[in-house]
Structures are given as structure tokens and as C-alpha cells.
Amino acid sequence: MSFNPVHKIIPAFVTGEISQEKGDQLIERTKEVNDGPLHVFFSDQRPQYREAILKVFGQWVQPERKGARGRFPKPRLKPPADLLYAQVVKHRRQGRVVKVTQKMIFGTQEALQAYLEQSSVSHCINTAFVEWQNNTMRQHSRRFTRKTLGFSRDDYWLERQVHLCVGYYHFCLPHGGLREEIIPPLPTKGRGSPKKWREVTPMMSVGVTDHVWTLPELLTYRLPPDAPVGPSRAKPCSEKSSEQAALTRAPPEVTIISTVKGH
């Protein structure tokens, strides 16, 4: 799962056991729903993410030949100059985390530090935001609850259920970190306290909608005919859901990648 901590949105997710193929799919889907500058990644130390980010965002270059004779070197993938990727490395001893360090993968430490100083959410490398989001997913989906019988036996239906869960989170669930102060506060009926805060969902934060959706509104929403959808599979369900199509209007600024494990 990729996560944008500025607007609290989930640009993309992939279900199944972590592998290089799944990592490639996650980064490709994250790039597909972005129409702006997406160049900062934080993640844990899983090796699949490094190769996936390089495959999707890397640029092919032709190294110069050393000398006047011999074959030219094969083209190589190199990260672009504006791509920043850092990992949070957890050192464990007997199953317990004893130290946490940071490792720079792509980009320079100076460029990353300059970016962090201007960040509106955090001034250090961490994956705390996506870990909190993992807990939110567990609270709203029993299929992620550990040691229960609520797990999915079919990865196909797990993916569809996660689409519904993510859609509800994006459109129907106001996020406490996105609420906006009302100035001046609005009076309420009777002797109640004035309303000081306006509830905001992740999709309201990025300007996709202007109100909190109800669940019936989400379930009955019809995509326009020209909405971008992915190729259909053997079963009659599109690859992209309504919230993913809407995310093409919401370029993430920082993406944190993590894995949500089942029981």
C-alpha cells in the first residue's frame, strides 16, 4: 500500500504475498493515478521497493565506452535527479527492535534534508503515517484482523473488499487530521456549543468532492462513460474503482510504502 500523509489518501494498493511482481504493480499503480510531481518515497527495508521504483521511474542511459575499441556498454536504468528514496531500517535482536536507522537509496542527503525542512507533515524520515493507516485498515476491515476466521480464502474477493474499504475511507470517513477550523464558529440549535470544526474526508482535502459522502451514495455512484478504468479480468469487475479514477486529480507529494499483513 502506498500512502500520502499530506492529504491522507491511499494512491494504490496490491493484495497478496509480497514479491517483486507485487512491488512492481504497486509502484506502477501509484504512478498511474498521479498527474503531478511524485518524487519522494519512504519505506521499510524490503528490497522489492528499490527495484520497483527504479523500474517505474528510472531513465535509460547509454554509458560511454571506455577506450576506442570494443563493444558499447549495455544501456542502464538510472534514477532521475529529482527522485528521492530513503528507507527506515529496523535492527532487531531476538525479535525485538533495538535500533532504527535511515538509509538513502536514491538522491542525495542534502536534497532530502532540504525537502524535509519544507514538509508540512514531518521533518524526519519515518513510516509512522502509513503504520497508523495500517491500523485504520485493520479497524475497518475484519479481513485484516489477526488470528480470526474473518480472512479471505480468495485473493480476488479480498481485493474487491479492500476497494470498498478504501472507497469508504476516502469519501465517507472524515479524518481528524484534515478538519478545518470554522471562523467564526457557527451557532447551533438550542444551548449547544457553537460548531468550531468542519469535517473533511481525504477526497475533500484534494478537491475531488465538496461534502462527506454517505455509504448509499458511494455504493450507487456511477462512473462517467469516459472514466479511466483498467482492463477487465475473467470475472466482471474493473481493475480500478471509482476512488482510484478520482485520484488522477490528486498528485501525491510524499508517498510512504508499507505492507499490511493478515493474521
Nearest to 3 by CA among 50, 57, 56, 44: 44
For residue 262, being part of any structural domain is answered with no
The parent domain of residue 37 ranges over 2-257
Asked whether the predicted pLDDT for residue 66 surpasses 50, the reply is yes
Q: What is the mean pLDDT of residues 105-130?
A: 87
pLDDT at 55: 92
Render pLDDT for 179-210 as a digit per residue (tens, 0 to 9).
999 898 888 887 788 889 999 999 999 899 99
Residue 211: which pLDDT band, with cuts at 50, 70 and 90? very high
> For residue 90, what are the β-bridge partners?
100
Work out the percent of the chain whose per-residue pLDDT is above 90: 30
Q: Which three cell numbers stand for residue 215?
A: 455509504
- Tell me, yes or no, whether 263 lies in a domain: no
**Crossing angle of the two packed helices 128-140 and 155-171, in degrees rounded to 10:** 110
- Residue 253 in any domain: the answer is yes
Residue 103 lies in a domain: yes
- Domain total for the chain? 1
Report the distance separating Cα 108 and Cα 40, nearest Å: 12
State the pTM of this model. 0.79
- Give residue 241's pLDDT band: very low, low, confident or very high (50, 70, 90): very low
Largest CA distance in the chain: 89
pLDDT of amino acid 37 = 62
Contact between 258 and 130 under an 8 Å Cβ cutoff? The reply is yes
For residue 256, what pLDDT is reported? 63
